[in-house]
Structure 1
Amino acid sequence: MRLVKQFLAVAAVALVGSQCIAAVEGNFLLTLVIGVLTAVLSVVVYRWVVRRTERREPTELAQDGRGGKLGRGSLIGLAMFAAVIANIAFVGGYHVEGWGSPTGALGLLGVMAAAAVTEELLFRGVLFRIVEERTGTWIALALTGVVFGAMHLVNPDASLWGATAIAIEAGFMLAACYAATRNLWVPIGLHFGWNFAAGGIFSVVVSGNGESKGLLDASTSGPVALSGGAFGPEGSLYAVLAGVVLTVVFLWLAKRRGHIVPRRRRTAQAPGRRTAQAPATVTVTR
């Protein structure tokens, strides 16, 4: 039940925040403010519900060093997506026409902050963390990664391949990042850096959600395998390869640091079953 309670608590904040952002669409300042408030409130609610349901301090959101962890994660995400765009541009699939919209980028800053924080709390903070306790790191990574990818099938320009790509390059990679660091700040930063680079800087489609108006006025073209097509560069083979590389690196770090959780062995006796007893010995006295 703690999984359900934690998930619903954070999901409620995410839902209200997304509805408010949709209601002020076109107003970059309100979008920025509401997005940041949604991100902050979701952290507050997560910490509160974890204390209530688990009777512990949520060390995965410890305040010490959070700025540095967010910064490192954001730089990794920015660099990762910049490398993807550079490869697409090298084969002629990314075109810059000029400068885009600074105000649009500010609005996307709020949107991407809300998305990164709420999704990481839901999928890594709640689902992956609790499932991992029962099934171990490997099964939890596979299960939650697939769920994360499937969630993107509801996006307007979604495709089965796009959802599969997201599962590999983001679902697996972000879970591996959490396993390696055992905190949520780094994957939150990574998720934000990746998304903001896509929409807020390079102005490409993010996860099949339509065109973005960021700092650059740009477009993509070419084979879907290289450009990602209507789903955006996240559906390109370059993005999948980048995600796989980082997943391997994070899992190597997790193993080196002793953070891999083994699968729990069933030791308790199943209800309703009795263990065989040794025959009683009879002592005869003379």
Structure 2
Amino acid sequence: MGRQGTSRHGCAYYYKGQSVESGLYVVATPIGNLGDISARALEVLAAVDLIAAEDTRHSAQLLQHYAIDNTVLAYHEHSDQRAAQRVMQCLAEGGAVALVSDAGTPLISDPGYRLVREAQDLGYRVIPLPGPCAAVAALSVSGLPTDRFMFEGFLPNKSGTRSNRLRELQQREETLIFYEAPHRIEDCLADLVAVFGADREALLAREITKTFETVRRAPLGELLAFVQGDSNQQRGEIVLVVAGLRQRSSEVDPETARLLQRLAQDLPGKKAAAIVAELSGLRKKLLYDYLLAHPSS
């Protein structure tokens, strides 16, 4: 591994010493605060033969901060095959390559999986170096259930397509995690309110670990008003964590049962169950099964 020293500015720096084992190292880097990088990540970044970075200018800031002088290659979704070939050539010669993204853990909402897959298919080692991830960081402070969650990444840009996708997710019971661009956050929250309802609980996490960090949990309707009332909340990197559909009970309460049976007198059972599910928050299957077990007289 690379050895550590201290610069005249008091900042730790790393330089090449003992080489690392050959392979592709998937290295998580800070999402804001540069102090969040691990000692192991710094040692690997200093010791590898090549760093494949999503944005070389962005990665240069991190490397300069820690006085790491190493070869950096641009590798991103628009790179041609020559970039991947250079990485594979390095691995073929017994070298080591570090893969880093703009921020956080590579392959989370970026195209690096193609490089990982190619390296694995050719028989090279792929080694994860865990660390910061905006989705997991937001989830950890959301106050929402973490035993089951679903990462959706970025929703579609257009409102109609976005709303269609949200309707597909409306009945999901696990906690949902979205990334969103600052110029779309208001429209996205408005669509979430329209589809999930203003009372569905959610968390807005903005600029995590940075100077103007925002972490706010509230019903979706309140979050929308908060963003609309403060233009600063429409800037920076944003994560939305939204509560899954919570079942109030595994049983159908008497009032809901009466409504369900009354609708079923004039509508097909599945249609009646779907309407009551939307109104009550109970699962459509639970309501339909109740109808089958308790047909109206």
Which structure is larger by alpha-carbon Rg, 1 or 2? 2
- Richer in helix (by share): 1
Q: TM-score, normalised by structure 2?
A: 0.25
TM-score, normalised relative to structure 1: 0.25
More relative contact order, 1 or 2 (CA 8 Å, 6+ apart): 1
